Amino acid sequence: MKRRVGICTGGGDAPGLNAVIRAFVRDAVQQRGWEVVGIADSFNGLLEQPHRLIPLNPNATRGLVRRGGTILGTTNRGNPFSYTRANGEKVDVAPELAKAVKEERLEGLVCIGGDGTQAIALQLMREVGIPVVGVPKTIDNDLSATDYTFGFQTAVDIATDALDRLQTTAESHDRVLFLEVMGRDAGHIALEAGLAGGADIILVPEIPYDVERVAACIRDRAERGRRFSVVICAEGALPVDLAKGKSMEERWELLRDGGGAANIAMSSLRGRIQAEMRTCVLGHIQRGGAPCAFDRVLATRFGVAASRLVDEGRWGEMVRLRNGVVDGVPIEEAIATYKFVDPNGQLVSTARAIGVEFGG
């Protein structure tokens, strides 16, 4: 009897999800001869009657290397350990999920998702005995266990394109333009896109900024005849006086109430500088659509590595890229530490060396 494995995707969008699925399926089905089924909508497909499973084979995954989104869907009603039934009731459906996995004769599940999904996957393995292999997915590239996650470089590309466009307008029309990009807790997208797109000022959550220092930078530029500035701003960036002593939750409340990080930055500069200011918020544009070549290659490697981990019975591990090689790492270890922008790291130093202002 053929080996039979499930695969599912959880959490927000990231370009490359489909490429992981395709690569896993091609290796598992075509090369290894297994059966693979996709679980519809995260774990949900196994929690509904009848089960919603999508038989996967090379035909069903054709063309997915370049397609954004996920053919498996991700809508879910939350964590199986605290699941919201259609009738609103909150229950622990993990045992039910384990039963469904057995009924469907699935040897285990490949779970593509962020650190939340990985933590749940690990808990499912430990508490109800569902064997899992993880594939990390975070557009923010904020997992210390892997050098890169797919989707990140695509987001950087899109944000860089936006900066390229804003640059000419800012310069010709003497504007201070703010581009808000993703990054609630980690500012990697803002930092790399800021470097690539020639931003004058980069604001990230890890370096709370001094408003006056930012204003001084813009005024200094104006005195040198550069009467414009381009600012890239992670969605979690806050001025130092607002951020100081606040928990993550409190910061998020501040950001929401202030209309977002770019809006707060713009408002705080009002009165301190002269130029007209405008904000642009990329939002979901930076996490949808076709992945760039880098992310397609990475996602393909992750998909094939997931198949290898399954083959070697390395349940409880997550694939990751480390120094050019894709291998497995225990999920427990993988989700233990975040990767933040290091204010003293080489990338920030490089940015400072070419004159980028961080405001702190």
Task: Give catalytic residue positions.
Answer: 140
Q: Which is nearer to a copy of itself, 128 or 348 (CB)?
A: 348
Contact pattern from residue 198 through residue 217 relative to a copy of itself, giving x for each residue in contact according to CB under 8 A and a dash for the rest:
x-------------------
Residue 93 makes CB contacts below 8 A (sequence gap 6+) with 47, 80, 81, 83
278 binds a copy of itself (CB under 8 A): yes
Pairing status of strand 35-39 against strand 53-56: antiparallel
Q: How far is the CB of 265 from a copy of itself (least distance, A)?
A: 15
Q: How far is the CB of 195 from a copy of itself (least distance, A)?
A: 5
Q: Which is nearer to a copy of itself, 127 or 340 (CB)?
A: 340
Could you tell me which stretch among 97-105, 212-220, 245-253, 322-330 binds a copy of itself (CB under 8 A)?
322-330
60 binds a copy of itself (CB under 8 A): no
289 binds a copy of itself (CB under 8 A): yes
Q: Residues for the chain: how many in total? A: 360
339 binds a copy of itself (CB under 8 A): no
SS (H, E, C) the chain: CCCEEEEEECCCCCCCHHHHHHHHHHHHHHHCCCEEEEECCHHHHHCCCCCCEEEECCCCCCCHHHCCCCCCCCCCCCCHHHEECCCCCEECCHHHHHHHHHHCCCCCEEEEECHHHHHHHHHHHHHHCCCEEEEECCCCCCECCCCCCCCHHHHHHHHHHHHHHHHHHHHHHCEEEEEEECCCCCCHHHHHHHHHCCCCEEECCCCCECHHHHHHHHHHHHHCCCCCEEEEEECCCCEHHHHCCCCHHHHHHHHHHCCCHHHHHHHHHECCECCEEEEEECHHHHHCCCCCHHHHHHHHHHHHHHHHHHHCCCCCEEEEEECCEEEEEEHHHHCCCECCCCCCCHHHHHHHHCCCECCC
Q: How far is the CB of 248 from a copy of itself (least distance, A)?
A: 21
Distance of CA 221 to CAs 187, 195, 217, 351, Å? Answer: 24, 18, 6, 17
338 binds a copy of itself (CB under 8 A): no
50 binds a copy of itself (CB under 8 A): no
Could you tell me which stretch among 44-52, 212-220, 247-255, 347-355 binds a copy of itself (CB under 8 A)?
347-355
Q: Which residue has the tokens 């500069």?
A: 269
Could you tell me which stretch among 10-18, 92-100, 127-135, 247-255 binds a copy of itself (CB under 8 A)?
10-18
Q: How far is the CB of 204 from a copy of itself (least distance, A)?
A: 15
The residue within the footprint of a copy of itself, chosen from 6, 38, 39, 70 (CB under 8 A), is 70
Could you tell me which stretch among 124-132, 206-214, 279-287, 328-336 binds a copy of itself (CB under 8 A)?
279-287
Contact pattern from residue 130 through residue 169 relative to a copy of itself, giving x for each residue in contact according to CB under 8 A and a dash for the rest:
-----------------x-----x--xxx-xxx-xxxxxx
The residue within the footprint of a copy of itself, chosen from 140, 185, 192, 200 (CB under 8 A), is 192
Distance of CA 316 to CAs 277, 312, 319, 332, 333, Å? Answer: 50, 12, 10, 8, 10
31 binds a copy of itself (CB under 8 A): yes
Q: How far is the CB of 99 from a copy of itself (least distance, A)?
A: 26
65 binds a copy of itself (CB under 8 A): yes
The residue within the footprint of a copy of itself, chosen from 6, 39, 54, 74 (CB under 8 A), is 74
Q: Which is nearer to a copy of itself, 198 or 330 (CB)?
A: 198
221 binds a copy of itself (CB under 8 A): no
Q: Which is nearer to a copy of itself, 122 or 179 (CB)?
A: 179
71 binds a copy of itself (CB under 8 A): yes
